């Protein structure tokens, strides 16, 4: 090979080797810069300086735009400054770069939950759990989203998985009780609430909820004791004291019920539920005149309730206000036509008011309803 050609080839090889070396230097320099900004961003995060952290992550992304984890961290810095929409955009970009990045899905779901956008939170949170089955944070957020959507049965299933891992978690036990109560699964709610109360740090609300669960499974004496404890812890709560009075009334312990309900109305004279229960108590004891003002108050607040109109109608009829009593009882049977006692009391009041034919029809209607109920229960028919 001629010397001139060989010399030329050596020069080309030298330039080529120089180009490779320069390219390697550039890549290493960029990598060093990325590492430097990455470390700086993490340092600012530890100091809760999210403005500076945002700036550093932005510099990382400019140098390494395909770094999915940098996009996730950039989103976190934005979110900590309440730039939630920008944060969602950053996390979405991270998922585009790496769909298997569980943290990005989780962050989107959690942000949606915090914004009460429960429906939008479900898919990203479920994706996070597919990628990381033991991501308790994602499962907790999913529980909140499901409760927000009133999908209590699904929330119960997710809570069960969490409680297997952390059986003494107070908040999870309370959430589990809430979901069971919403599904009328009172027995399970009572079990969970007992576990929660055994952990200590008890509250009046927890004892009252425990009482409601016990009452739901007909363990009313135990429910009453739970409500006593609830009142001890919050003696000024008219809501809790009403619950105690109601349970006394339910067990026909009228003197104790009267004491609690009277105290509720002393504290809150317009408490319609207490007024109705106290009025019904007096009516049951044959004190219609004493019951009347309480039932009037209850009917004003609950005009579309059968029980209030029915009790008021009976009290009016028993105190001689037959015309008003008949009107209230007519309204009651319009609200609930299938209740035999409504027609029976209306029939009696109509006959007392001199409207015998209409009264007889109402009594016949009451008899037919009772017979239909007996047939459905396979009991002997009542003869006229």
- Residues 319-369 have pLDDT tens digits of 999 999 999 999 999 999 999 999 999 999 999 999 999 999 999 999 999
Residue 16 has pLDDT above 90, yes or no: no
Residue 376: per-residue pLDDT:
74
Residue 76 has pLDDT above 90, yes or no: yes
pLDDT band at 383 (very low <50, low <70, confident <90, very high): low
Residue 313: per-residue pLDDT:
96
* Phi, psi at 117, each rounded to 5°: -95, 70
* Model confidence pLDDT, tens digit, residues 284-308: 999 999 999 999 999 999 999 999 9
Residue 14 has pLDDT above 70, yes or no: no
* Model confidence pLDDT, tens digit, residues 144-194: 999 999 999 999 999 999 999 999 999 999 999 999 999 999 999 999 999
Residue 182: per-residue pLDDT:
96
Is residue 91 within 8 Å of residue 104, measured between CB atoms? yes
Mean pLDDT of 110-115: 96
Residue 26 has pLDDT above 90, yes or no: no
pLDDT band at 381 (very low <50, low <70, confident <90, very high): low
Residue 139 has pLDDT above 90, yes or no: yes
Residue 2 has pLDDT above 70, yes or no: no
pTM: 0.78
pLDDT band at 17 (very low <50, low <70, confident <90, very high): very low
* Model confidence pLDDT, tens digit, residues 219-230: 999 999 999 999
The radius of gyration of the chain from alpha carbons, rounded to an integer in Å, stands at: 36
Is residue 314 within 8 Å of residue 306, measured between CB atoms? no
Give CA–CA dist 181/190, Å, rounded: 9
pLDDT: which is higher, 344 or 379: 344
b/e code 237-273 from CB counts within 10 Å (16+ = b) = bbbbbbbbbbbbbeeeebeebbebbebbbeeeeebbb
């Amino acid at each position: 090979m001629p010397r001139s050609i060989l010399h030329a080839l050596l020069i080309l090889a030298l330039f080529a080797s120089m180009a490779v070396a320069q390219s390697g230097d550039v890549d290493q320099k960029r990598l060093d810069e990325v590492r430097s900004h990455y470390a700086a961003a993490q340092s600012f995060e530890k100091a809760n300086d999210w403005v500076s952290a945002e700036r550093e992550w932005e510099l990382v992304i400019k140098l390494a735009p395909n770094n999915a984890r940098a996009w996730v961290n950039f989103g976190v810095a934005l979110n900590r400054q309440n730039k939630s929409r920008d944060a969602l955009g950053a996390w979405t970009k991270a998922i585009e770069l790496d769909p298997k990045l569980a943290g990005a899905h989780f962050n989107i779901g959690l942000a949606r939950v915090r914004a009460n956008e429960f429906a939008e939170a479900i898919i990203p949170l479920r994706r996070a759990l597919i990628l990381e089955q033991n991501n308790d944070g994602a499962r907790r957020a999913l529980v909140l989203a499901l409760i927000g959507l009133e999908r209590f049965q699904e929330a119960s299933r997710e809570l069960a998985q969490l409680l297997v891992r952390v059986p003494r978690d107070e908040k999870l036990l309370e959430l589990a009780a809430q979901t069971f109560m919403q599904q009328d699964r009172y027995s399970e709610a009572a079990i969970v609430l007992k576990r929660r109360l055994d952990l200590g740090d008890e509250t009046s609300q927890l004892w009252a909820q425990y009482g409601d669960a016990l009452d739901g499974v007909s363990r009313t004496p135990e429910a009453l004791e739970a409500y006593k404890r609830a009142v001890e812890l919050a003696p000024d709560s008219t809501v809790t004291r009403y619950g105690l009075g109601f349970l006394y009334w339910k067990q026909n312990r009228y003197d104790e019920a009267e004491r609690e309900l009277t105290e509720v109305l002393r504290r809150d004279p317009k408490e319609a539920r207490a007024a109705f229960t106290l009025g019904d108590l007096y009516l049951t004891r044959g004190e219609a005149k004493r019951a009347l003002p309480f039932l009037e108050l209850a009917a004003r607040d609950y005009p579309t309730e059968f029980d209030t109109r029915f009790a008021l109608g009976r009290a009016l009829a028993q105190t001689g206000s037959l015309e008003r009593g008949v009107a209230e009882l007519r309204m009651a049977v319009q609200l609930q036509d299938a209740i035999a006692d409504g027609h029976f009391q209306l029939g009696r009041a109509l006959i007392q008011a001199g409207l015998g034919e209409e009264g007889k029809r109402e009594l016949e209607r009451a008899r037919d309803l009772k017979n239909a109920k007996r047939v459905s229960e396979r009991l002997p028919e009542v003869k006229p």
